[in-house]
Amino acid sequence: MAGYSYEIAHWTASEAVKKDLSIVKDVVEIMKSKTPLPVFAGISVETAELFWMLTWDKTETHKAFIDSPEYADFTAKFKPTMPEGGAKVDMGHAHFDRDPLPAFEGKVTEHAWITPNEGERDAVLDVLKRFGEVLKEHPELSVGAAVGTIEEKPGVVLVVIGWHTVEDHKKAVAPGGPCHHLLVEMGSKVAAQPEVTHVPYSSWKSGEISNALLSLYIMFSEDQALFGSRAISDLWRRR
């Protein structure tokens, strides 16, 4: 499914949706009537933001829905998922080099937004390609990776990786880990430390939200989230 347009949106989540993801049901039902392709929702481990991943056949299909008369009523249904007063929505359409669904179907999905230095984009993409090849040799850590571009942010590279746990991500990039040397190599080629977050996604299937996400989110306590995000950030600083 590499040829599709993947909408990724996120915003500050309400306390209600953090406690009960099933309140997105009405939103998802409308989404599924507009695109028969996979829809995912989840809460970020590090930021507790609500993340969405919607698959469109092409970006124009999504934009046509946005321009339609029914879109205003649709957006009103997001209100219970946002804090009082609303939230700023960050949204983009990504196009990946391979099918990203294995990464989104992993127990936890890493999103890394990387900004290459001027003239280093191809070099960064080469490192990321080798990163994915190494991960194929370590199914005990990862279930797949994909590299993408974002229509709305042409200077940014988006990487999604499916991990079994946040700890497995840390193991892969820590000194002595199978991907550490690639992290070091890429360090001089990027403009800043990548923005990284992990989301245990749930997909919309058979008319109900899977309970898998809720149980996984409980497993990732605040201490675990803090540990994971700090540890990975520290590795970038020490590379």
**pLDDT mean by block of 10 residues, the chain; 239 residues:** 89 96 90 92 96 96 95 91 94 96 97 97 97 97 97 97 98 97 96 95 61 40 40 44
Q: What's the pLDDT score for residue 216?
A: 40
> How does the average pLDDT of the chain come out, rounded?
87
Q: What's the pLDDT score for residue 101?
A: 96
- What does the alpha-carbon distance between residue 40 and residue 210 come to, in Å, rounded to a whole number? 10
Residue tagged 């590499």 (tokens) = 2
Cβ–Cβ under 8 Å, residues 163 and 141? yes
Q: What's the pLDDT score for residue 3?
A: 84
Residue tagged 């930021």 (tokens) = 47
- What does the alpha-carbon distance between residue 115 and residue 92 come to, in Å, rounded to a whole number? 15
Tens digit of pLDDT for each residue in 98-121?
999 999 999 999 999 999 999 999
Q: What's the pLDDT score for residue 2?
A: 66
Exposed, middle or buried: residue 65 (CB in 10 Å: 0-12, 13-18, 19+)? middle
Residue tagged 């990776």 (tokens) = 145
Tokens at residue 7, please? 């909408």
Tens digit of pLDDT for each residue in 17-44?
999 999 998 899 899 999 999 999 999 9
Residue 90: what are its φ and ψ, rounded to 5°? Answer: -105, 120
Q: What's the pLDDT score for residue 204?
A: 73
Q: What's the pLDDT score for residue 179?
A: 98
Q: What does pTM read for this prediction?
A: 0.85
Tokens at residue 102, please? 């294995």
- Selection from 47, 38, 50 nearest residue 78 by Cα: 50
Domain positions in the chain are 5-238
- Selection from 45, 51, 18 nearest residue 228 by Cα: 45
Assigned fold of 5-238: Alpha-Beta Plaits (3.30.70)
Cβ–Cβ under 8 Å, residues 112 and 159? yes
Q: What's the pLDDT score for residue 158?
A: 98
